[in-house]
Structure 1
Amino acid sequence: MQLIWLRSDLRQHDNTALAAAAERGPTVAVYLLSPQQWQEHDDAPCKIDFWLRNLHELSKSLGDLNMPLLIRTASHWDQAPAVLLELCRQLKIEAVHVNEEYGINESRRDAAVAKALQAEGITLHSYLDQLLFKPGSVLTRTGTYFQVFSQFRKVCYEHLHRSMPSLKQAPGKQSALNIASDPVPEAIEGFPTPGASLRALWPAGETEARRRLDTFADAQIDYYKSERDFPAKPGTSQLSAYLAAGVISPRQCLHAALQSNQGEFESGKVGAVTWINELLWREFYKHILVGYPRVSRHRAFRPETEALAWRDAPEDLAAWQEARTGLPIIDAAMRQLLETGWMHNRLRMVVAMFLTKNLLIDWHEGERFFMRHLIDGDLAANNGGWQWSASTGTDSAPYFRIFNPVSQSEKFDSEGLFIKHWLPELAGLNKKDVHNPASAGGLFGVADYPPPIVNLSTSRERALAAFKNLPSRSSQGESDE
């Protein structure tokens, strides 16, 4: 008997480990609930709820194949070897199959499990699945991991020209086993169930993930480049939560994009090329996690930036977290996050730069807050994005490149539609004043809306000074967007 240990790969189709296990013989699936570990990783309640709902759907589809899904608890990953070993003994398992995960804790867990199983003569087979390229296979000429995305992408293109990752065959129906599936819990203590409106935005299951992918590839991908930066438009695929939980694979996404673009990934439709580029950014940050393990340890990618004199400003941090900074685009974006578990990607950069530059608050605070609220929270992507915005990371924004939230707002939400949706208290303002109510005059500004907590130009100068004081910084030119 074969065991597939499911983790961030909650799907039946194009699942490398599942296909490999089913090929070898009768297969049972197991999922480990690890609430203590999830707390340590700052996983959001809406994300845990999304996993459970997807597990419920997956249990039904595996049940149609006579493949039972068992649920076990290893509250901390330290307990995973003992829990899995006991299950293997009970079911007389010959081999365990997993799809590789990345990050220090994940790697240590899998190594410990492999060692425990090996002592009993059980092999742990692991497979490349959540990435297009195995970490360590896309390297510089000197054999190191890339630190600059454009160079990484170029080598990825060379790999894709040579061979395209193929989709894995879904397993067929197997003979019935005398093993009942376990019920998937509705909730986990410590992770409150989100409201119905948030859950309705993110229906669970492969059918929904595939529907989103097909709709995007058929109807929207052509406009992706021109519309993805406008938060009031439905310009993005809305697939990030499904990718993070492995309800859909990057291979399925790549194949759908190529199909919409006559098999091209470097030329043809600019929308498809741009979206494939985003899949490669996701890839890049996961490779960084493996090549530079310090980012898994909450360390800055650029060590010299750890000397930055961040401000200890709990009131400013709370205002940012609670969407009351007095800068409408920032507050609207934060409300979107708090109410939906998701934030538009352009706005993730804008609010991150505002926190780390204008408020000069440590990026770790923002990274942690995002993880605690994002339904698509992913260590590699979230850390990569925050370090990019804070100018502490790989391929990061130069420290003098500081987004001005008001001009970003005027550029990407020119009619104020996004702002007015999330900040109805500003609905009465015209499309010019809505970006910066404080500049509209009047003694008290807008009732129910706070004045800005910071002066954008003086706070920008403060950030520039803090970065210039770092060791090994050359004085480069300055720009403002």
Structure 2
Amino acid sequence: MTQLLWLRSDLRAHDNTALCAAMAAGPTVALYLITPQQWLAHDDAACKVDFWLRNLSALQQQLALLNVPLLVRHADTWRQVPALLGDLCQNLQVRAVHVNEEYGVHESRRDQACREHLAQQGVALHSHLDQLFFAPGSVLTQSGGYFQVFSQFRKVCYQRLATALPACRPLPAAQAPLPITSDAIPSEVTGFAPPSEALRQLWPAGEDEALQRLQRFAGEQLEWYDQQRDFPATPGTSQLSAYLAAGVISPRQCLHAALTINRGEFATGNPGAVCWISELLWREFYKHILVGYPRVSMGRAFRRDTEALAWRHAPDELAAWQEGRTGLPIVDAAMRQLRDTGWMHNRLRMIVAMFLTKNLLIDWREGERWFMRHLIDGDLAANNGGWQWSASTGTDAAPYFRIFNPLSQSAKFDPEGRFLRHWLPELASLNKHDIHNPDALDGLFGVAGYPRPMVDLSRSRERALAAFKNLEPAHV
């Protein structure tokens, strides 16, 4: 009985749950769907689409070693997918389709529509747990609800992992060759302009690259992760987020690498390893939130009361933030990093998000959308969770009165100004003290070629506090 493996955000051969299940059940054919209108509707970045295609080409070579042909089909939106799958299953005499679960509302509806359509043809659709350690709905509070506080969620995860550590699945043995020819992988998709070669070189494709990054990070940097991860000029992070988002590497592979370094400990041992494992669980937490509270994947705030916030409509200020010309060096440097690399350091994501939502009092959804349109590691759950955390509208979010000061954050986490000099060459001549706040050098003109700050930090902070205080006191 022929099996169809429908690849989505799981572009790898190693430790791929659906691939293992399909090949264990019978001769397997792989499928990837190009859905440009759906990607545009979901604000997927052009650099991310390019990354998908490059990784798909690398995966095709891996699958060829397993004698698994890879087919590529086109459908403008997911509405067309059930019929497309049905026709393909009929043509190939497929009796079962295997997928790794995805968790957004649209993804869930797509899969349910496919399941119902295929069932009419006698074809089963099997969903497999792959992106997460635990299935959503299996880690619940004592009252049976989804956790809303990360520390409580993490504690239960630690307990579960200690007794049932998810294993990495071995690469399946090659199957007998099938009389099906693989399709060519397109080099680009209409509507998604290819990124610069410089950006591509920052993010080489393929499982080998992802595993090398993991091994390098685990062996050389993991032990100091907790001390170095907040400094954007220091290579203190794993640089794996794009590979995790596209499924080029699995969270299980990451967890096992950390546990190897930390002698099997989750919550004790090396602080760097413990901190990084906690970050993997933050990723897990936000995907569980996506399922437990589906409104967050439909542009709604987790905290319903914050929907009444009086966000400002300020398109010129939004554009200045997007283009990195706010006059606040750490914000501008971060936004330029995003534009040129498709990525932004996590500490900077919090700084620029708080600046937009608190100092400019612009709706977090504007920032969430801008990030998704530019991030190579754009992930609905993580991106939404991070933006709502910074905007104080989300689950377990920063208290509304906690507002990062971009000047003090810059001085603390880029003390020598190395990150600022790299991205703001117009400020490169300033010393390590002046570069964080060049406006203070001259009360009238600041630094030639660099804009004055677009907002008074103190006054804008008070404006944000007042806006939140105007909400119902019981909910703040």
One-letter code aligned to 1:373 = H
Residues 251-272 of structure 1, C-alpha deviation per residue, up to 9 Å, x if partnerless? 0000000011111111111100
One-letter code aligned to 2:339 = L
Question: Which stretches in structure 2 are left out of the alignment for 5+ residues?
Answer: none
Structure-1 residue corresponding to 2:243: 242
Superposed displacement of residue 442, structure 1 = 6.0
Q: What is the alpha-carbon distance in structure 2 between the residues aligned to residue 472 and residue 86 of structure 1? A: 56
Superposed displacement of residue 441, structure 1 = 2.1
One-letter code aligned to 1:277 = S
SS of match in other structure, 1:176: coil
Does structure 2 conserve the Cα–Cα contact (< 8 Å) formed by 1:4 and 1:30? yes
Q: What is the alpha-carbon distance in structure 2 between the residues aligned to residue 471 and residue 266 of structure 1? A: 38
Report which stretch shifted further, 455-464 or 260-269: 260-269
Structure-2 residue corresponding to 1:41: 42
SS of match in other structure, 1:138: coil
Counterpart mapping for 1:270-419 below 5 A: 270-419=271-420
1:468 aligns with 2:469: yes
1:27 aligns with 2:44: no
Structure-1 residue corresponding to 2:188: 187
Residues 420-443 of structure 1, C-alpha deviation per residue, up to 9 Å, x if partnerless? 000010001011110000011264
Does structure 2 conserve the Cα–Cα contact (< 8 Å) formed by 1:332 and 1:418? yes
Counting aligned pairs with the same residue, the percent is: 70
User: How large is the Cα RMSD of the aligned pairs?
Assistant: 0.8
Q: What is the alpha-carbon distance in structure 2 between the residues aligned to residue 126 and residue 362 of structure 1? A: 36
Structure-2 residue corresponding to 1:452: 453
Structure-2 residue corresponding to 1:478: none
SS of match in other structure, 1:402: coil
SS of match in other structure, 2:473: coil
SS of match in other structure, 1:168: coil
Q: What is the alpha-carbon distance in structure 2 between the residues aligned to residue 104 and residue 366 of structure 1? A: 21
Q: What is the alpha-carbon distance in structure 2 between the residues aligned to residue 5 and residue 321 of structure 1? A: 36
Question: Which stretches in structure 1 are left out of the alignment for 5+ residues?
Answer: 476-481
One-letter code aligned to 1:310 = W
One-letter code aligned to 2:440 = S
Residues 392-418 of structure 1, C-alpha deviation per residue, up to 9 Å, x if partnerless? 000000000000000000000011000
Q: What is the alpha-carbon distance in structure 1 between the residues aligned to residue 238 and residue 413 of structure 2? A: 18
Does structure 1 conserve the Cα–Cα contact (< 8 Å) formed by 2:305 and 2:475? no
Does structure 1 conserve the Cα–Cα contact (< 8 Å) formed by 2:441 and 2:447? no
Does structure 2 conserve the Cα–Cα contact (< 8 Å) formed by 1:304 and 1:472? no
Q: What is the alpha-carbon distance in structure 2 between the residues aligned to residue 139 and residue 443 of structure 1? A: 57
Superposed displacement of residue 472, structure 1 = 3.3
1:82 aligns with 2:83: yes
SS of match in other structure, 1:225: helix
Report how many residues are paired: 475
Report which stretch shifted further, 441-450 or 400-409: 441-450
Q: What is the alpha-carbon distance in structure 2 between the residues aligned to residue 474 and residue 96 of structure 1? A: 46
Q: What is the alpha-carbon distance in structure 1 between the residues aligned to residue 398 and residue 238 of structure 2? A: 25
One-letter code aligned to 1:459 = S
Superposed displacement of residue 239, structure 1 = 0.2
Q: What is the alpha-carbon distance in structure 1 between the residues aligned to residue 70 and residue 474 of structure 2? A: 54
Superposed displacement of residue 129, structure 1 = 0.3
SS of match in other structure, 1:28: strand
Q: What is the alpha-carbon distance in structure 1 between the residues aligned to residue 475 and residue 172 of structure 2? A: 57
Residues 279-318 of structure 1, C-alpha deviation per residue, up to 9 Å, x if partnerless? 0000000000000011011000000000000111111100
One-letter code aligned to 1:227 = Q
Q: What is the alpha-carbon distance in structure 1 between the residues aligned to residue 148 and residue 444 of structure 2? A: 50
Q: What is the alpha-carbon distance in structure 1 between the residues aligned to residue 131 and residue 475 of structure 2? A: 39
1:100 aligns with 2:101: yes
Q: What is the alpha-carbon distance in structure 1 between the residues aligned to residue 129 and residue 69 of structure 2? A: 24
Does structure 2 conserve the Cα–Cα contact (< 8 Å) formed by 1:56 and 1:184? yes
Residues 71-127 of structure 1, C-alpha deviation per residue, up to 9 Å, x if partnerless? 011210011101111110110001110000001000000001011111111111110
Structure-2 residue corresponding to 1:421: 422
Q: What is the alpha-carbon distance in structure 1 between the residues aligned to residue 260 and residue 182 of structure 2? A: 37
Q: Structure 1 length as normaliser, TM-score?
A: 0.98
